[in-house]
Structure 1
Amino acid sequence: MSDFNAQIIAEFRDHGGHTEMFGDGLVLVHSIGARSGEERVNPVAAIDEGGSWLIAASAAGADRHPDWYRNLLAHPDVEIETGERTVDVHTEDLQGQERDAAWQRFTEMSSGFRDYQQKTDRVIPVLRLAAR
């Protein structure tokens, strides 16, 4: 885990889900390594839909998907920390118009997401984490 992620995770947990840089817009995703089987924790920007959360595998516009994305596809039943509670969720990789509409919500939330898409040729995946 990077020092940056470790700092964000600590701040998130110390302040009930709030961070100075990201406000209340994160969740901590607990995934299981697709190959290693080890638990990973990643801070990820999220849109709360009331019972489910949208997350985008933007990787800041990198040309490859983040590892946590592959982990969630391999092991879709995980848990997230919202700041207030820990929630068991099931991961759905959105496709087609549903993905496009969800992605638009991210670009409306932050111009950074538009910049990420311009940096890469890959389609940035959007996932729904639905409480189970």
Structure 2
Amino acid sequence: MSFNQSVIDEFRANQGKVGGYFEGSDLLLLTTTGAKSGEERTVPLGYVRHGDHLLIIGSNLGGPKHPDWYHNVLAHPLVEVEIGADSFEAVAVPAEGARRDRLFTHVVTTEPGYGEYQENTSRVLPVVVLERSDPAPGEGPAEVRSLADKLVEVHVWLRGQLRHVSAEVDAYFETSAAYEGEGAAPAPGLGLQIRQHCLAFCQTLEIHHTGEDAHIFPAMEAHNPHLKDVFERLRTEHVTVARLQGELSSLLGDITDADPERFRKELARMSEELNTHLDHEEEALLPLLAEVPFPPGPPAA
């Protein structure tokens, strides 16, 4: 058994408490999706709190290369976080520029060892912000008891990510315009942050629609043949939304060279079509899903 796996097992067996090298440390478990393999990988990591967020550092003990988990979160920003007995989903967002420097100063003030790691390597240690992706208070169902509740929960998250991306895009272009007006190059600041939220949104949307097309819709259609036209329309909308998110991802490839007007227009177009699709899906499916328990119970004997 590897050292990491022994720490993971001890962590989970004792609600986040471990002994030995990590005894007394603030420790979490981070589960990422492999950038190349697509497989889940879990690693124990130290963390530092900053307001409502958790900060993790790509220190790799001061080694010359970024750790594997950092490359994973760049490819797949949605991660699972375990702290104590609690677990939750988060979006991993590496900080950039001046924000990264401010956060790293906070980290070193709290945990000076990270400053020593930085001194031992020529690379800039990444500071990754874990943004918990729970719905805001008052949004979504208070408790998920049915498949209808689960559908609403996913839709609330998707709508929230779209609003988040839109707000960050506006902030980015406003900042860029201000810097250009002063004759200086635009400060980066939000490019990677926008990319991570957009990527998390697109990946979640793809998983959501794939699951509906492959499993939920066929099962529901078999029991509700009179709704065949409804499911056909939803499948057609899935194709349209997939095309739009592909266009947006391509546009986002290098936001520093993106045309602000075109970018905002594409984002607004996608947001409008997606929200119309989500509204129609809820209108058509929620009454049918309200009696289906979630998570599903054990199969009948």
TM-score (norm 2): 0.42
Displacement of 1:121 after TM fit?
Answer: 0.1
Match in the other structure for 1:78: 79
C-alpha contact (below 8 Å) 2:57/2:127 kept by paired residues: yes
Distance 2:111 2:81 in 1: 22
AA matched with 1:17: G
Match in the other structure for 2:41: 40
Alignment partner of 1:5 is 2:15: no
Greater shift, 95-104 or 49-58, is seen at: 49-58
Displacement of 1:103 after TM fit?
Answer: 1.1
C-alpha contact (below 8 Å) 1:17/1:24 kept by paired residues: no
Distance 2:35 2:29 in 1: 18
% identity of equivalent residues: 38
Alignment partner of 1:19 is 2:18: yes
1:1-59: per-residue Cα shift (whole Å, max 9, x none)? x7221121122112211222332511110000000000000111112345421100000
Match in the other structure for 1:30: 31
Q: Which runs of 5+ in 1 are unaligned?
A: none
TM-score (norm 1): 0.91
Distance 1:60 1:79 in 2: 23
C-alpha contact (below 8 Å) 2:25/2:46 kept by paired residues: no
Match in the other structure for 1:108: 109
Q: Which has the higher helix share?
A: 2
SS at match of 1:128: strand
> RCO greater where, 1 or 2, for CA within 8 Å and sep 6 or more?
1
Distance 2:14 2:113 in 1: 24
Distance 1:105 1:16 in 2: 27
SS at match of 1:54: strand
